[in-house]
Amino acid sequence: MSDLTSVFDVHFGWPNSCALSHDFPPKAGVTLPAGTIVAPGTKQLRSAVVLRIKTDATGAGSPPSLVLADAGKAYVVNTWGAGHDDGDIVEWDGTKFNVVVPHAVGDVPVIGTRVVVIEAGGAGSFSGHANKILTCTVAADPEDPPTWVVTTTPSSGNQIDINGANSIYYTKRFSYTTVWALTDKLSLGYSHAYVDALTSPIVASVKPSAWIVLEGNDQFDGEFTGEVTCAKLPTGCTVKVKCAVANTLVPGEFVEAEGGIVKKCNGTNHAIGQVDWSNATAGAGGIIIFTGV
């Protein structure tokens, strides 16, 4: 992977063990040629304790009457009567209720608990929120019980793991199209990751994991496999790339990414690399060599 006459070239760090390379699918519909600066993304959502929460409305002294076909439906216990503690999150397994998350002090749900609302829509705090993910949150008035707040509205391709140990869906992963597919149980360990062109964010935000495309999906292998091969920049990887502002860059200066293209770091965004060499040519002929940081 070393051809000094090419526009894009890896001079050091790949395939040597000092740098990490990996194949990623590109974001749907996006072309990522060699030399593009990218960052991984995922449609994987933070886990939830249950998949099909139905209601936290009062039970008026008795639990709901369910049958075998209702297995997987979950509830926040609210005045169900003897044998049931308010604030517990429970799930029906087809024959009985199992406590998935015990209540907190004050007989209220545990703050921070995430649940997925039943696909047909729920009642109580979950009314009108079919398929959304809600989180138990401290009320505006700390003297009031916690409230349930929508924290995620899923989009097609999202995935979620269920981590409530007593749920019938425990350790299962589900995919969303227009509903959470109850038959789409994917094994844990597979993560729906992709890469897309990176624009460096401000330094006050989390620094993204910057990679550079070695072989794009506009090349034969990429078109055939549907993936792009990338090298991780902050691993000692030194590369030669096009840079329209090469004439303004000198060794030692830092660069960032904008829409996957290398440019001079503005001092307020995260840097992706430090310049080692520039051909001092402006415009389309500008080329630099930089080492990832």
Please give the tally of structural domains in the chain. 2
User: 149, 175, 201: which is the final residue of a domain?
Assistant: 175
Assess if residue 185 is contained within a domain: no
What mean pLDDT do residues 45-49 have? 94
Query: Which residues face 215 on adjacent strands?
Result: 229
Q: Do 29 and 62 fall into the same domain?
A: no
Cα distance between residue 228 and residue 194, in whole Å: 10
Assess if residue 73 is contained within a domain: yes
Quote the domain boundaries for residue 275. 9-41+193-292
Q: Do 82 and 170 fall into the same domain?
A: yes
Assess if residue 183 is contained within a domain: no
Q: Is 17 exposed, middle or buried (0-12, 13-18, 19+ CB in 10 A)?
A: exposed
Q: What is the pLDDT of residues 48-78, one digit of tens each?
A: 999 999 999 999 999 999 999 999 999 999 9
CATH code, domain with 34 = 2.40.300.10
User: 144, 175, 206: which is the final residue of a domain?
Assistant: 175
Q: Do 162 and 54 fall into the same domain?
A: yes
Q: Do 68 and 142 fall into the same domain?
A: yes
Task: Please give the residue that has the higher pLDDT: either 77 or 191.
Answer: 77
Provide the whole-model pTM: 0.67
Q: Is 28 exposed, middle or buried (0-12, 13-18, 19+ CB in 10 A)?
A: exposed
Residue 92 half-sphere exposure toward CB, CA atoms < 13 A: 20
pLDDT of residue 235: 82
In this structure, the strands spanning 228-232 and 211-215 are antiparallel
Assess if residue 144 is contained within a domain: yes
Q: Do 79 and 163 fall into the same domain?
A: yes
* Residue 118 in this model has a pLDDT that exceeds 80: yes
Joined together, the tokens standing for residue 169 give: 């869906």
User: Nearest-CA neighbor of 38 among 22, 51, 60?
Assistant: 22
Joined together, the tokens standing for residue 279 give: 């051909």
Cα distance between residue 90 and residue 270, in whole Å: 45
Assess if residue 186 is contained within a domain: no
Assess if residue 180 is contained within a domain: no
Q: Do 143 and 171 fall into the same domain?
A: yes
Q: Do 59 and 33 fall into the same domain?
A: no
Q: Do 98 and 78 fall into the same domain?
A: yes
